Amino acid sequence: MEVRDARVLLTGASGGIGPTIARGLAQRGARLVLSGRRVDALEALAAELGAAEVLPADLADRAGPETLARDAGAVDVFVSNAALPADGQVDDYTPDQIDRALDVNLRAPIFLARALTPAMVQRGRGSVVLVASIGAIATTPGSALYSATKFGLRGFGLALRQDLHGTGVGVTVVHPSFIDEAGMFAESGVKLPPGAPTRTPRDVADAVIRAIERGPAEIMVAPILLRLGTHLAGIAPAPVAAVSRVMGSYKIQAQLAEAHRAKR
C-alpha cells in the first residue's frame, strides 16, 4: 500500500531508532501518530515533523495498549517499534522485570494488532509492521528472555499474516541486527569485534517503508554474512552456538546486559 497520506501509528517514537523511522515515514507523506513514554521527546519530534499527532503511552501498563488503540482510532498502518532490551541471565531478573519485558515486547504488539486490524480489514487495506530482531531467528548466550519475546513476536506476526491473507491487510516482521548511531545497541556503548559491520537507523526506516509498500513476510536488516549466519543458526542451532561462543558472544552479551540493567 502507499505510505503517502496513510495514517500511521508508530510506537517507541520517543527514543532509539523511533525518531528516524518517523522521519522516514514523514518524508514519504505519512500522517503520523507518535507514541512513546517521554512526552517532551514526542512533542519535539512532532514539532520537527509538522502535523504529527502525539499520544503518550506506557506499554508496560496493562491498560496501556487498549487505551492507546482507543485514542488512536482508525489507522491505516501500525508500526510496532517499542521494546525493552531484556539482556542477561533469566535468574537475574525479578518476576516484575520479566513481566515488564513480556508486556512491552510481546503483549502490547499483540493487543494493539488485535484492536487495530479489524477496522483495516473492514476497509480492505492496511499494514502491520512488527519490528523484531535477528534475536527472533537465532539465539545467543544471555538472551533467553529477549529472544523469548522476539521469537514470540515473529511467530505472532507470521501467523497473523496467514490469518489476514486475502483481506488487503499485510503483515511484515522486520529483523534489525546491530544498529549504530541510535537504539539499544548503540546506547549500550558495547564494541563489536573488529570488522563486524553494523547497520544504521535509516536502514531500519527504509525496511519499515518497504514493508508497508511491498508487504513481504520478513525483512532482515543485517550485513550479508550475519544474515547467512542467522539463517544457518535457525537450521542448526547447536553447532552455530558453539562457533558463536568461540567468537566471544558470551562477553558481548554480558556487556550488553550490564549496560541495559537500568532499563529493566
How many residues can be counted in the chain? 264
Q: What is the CATH number of the domain that holds 249?
A: 3.40.50.720
Q: Nearest to residue 104, comparing CAs of 84, 126, 90, 80? A: 84
What is d(CA 109, CA 50) in angstroms, rounded to the nearest whole number? 27
What is d(CA 194, CA 148) in angstroms, rounded to the nearest whole number? 29
Sequence-separated (6 or more) residues with CB below 8 Å from residue 184: 16, 83, 85, 260
* pLDDT tens digits, 103-162: 999 999 999 999 999 999 999 999 999 999 988 988 877 889 999 999 999 999 999 999
> Which amino acid is it at 129?
V
Output 240 or 38, whichever has higher pLDDT: 38
Question: For residue 1, is it within any domain?
Answer: no
Domains of the chain: total: 1
* pLDDT tens digits, 11-62: 999 999 999 999 999 999 999 999 999 999 999 999 999 889 999 999 999 9
Question: For residue 249, is it within any domain?
Answer: yes
115 and 44 Cβ atoms separated by less than 8 Å: no
Output 81 or 263, whichever has higher pLDDT: 81
Question: For residue 78, is it within any domain?
Answer: yes
Question: For residue 100, is it within any domain?
Answer: yes
Question: Model confidence at 247, in pLDDT bands (50, 70, 90)?
Answer: low
Question: For residue 83, is it within any domain?
Answer: yes
Which phi and psi (to 5°) does residue 52 adopt?
Answer: -65, 145
Active-site entry in 111, 146, 156, 185? 146
Question: For residue 2, is it within any domain?
Answer: no
Domain with 60, as residue range(s), is: 7-263
146 and 97 Cβ atoms separated by less than 8 Å: no
Active site residue 146: yes
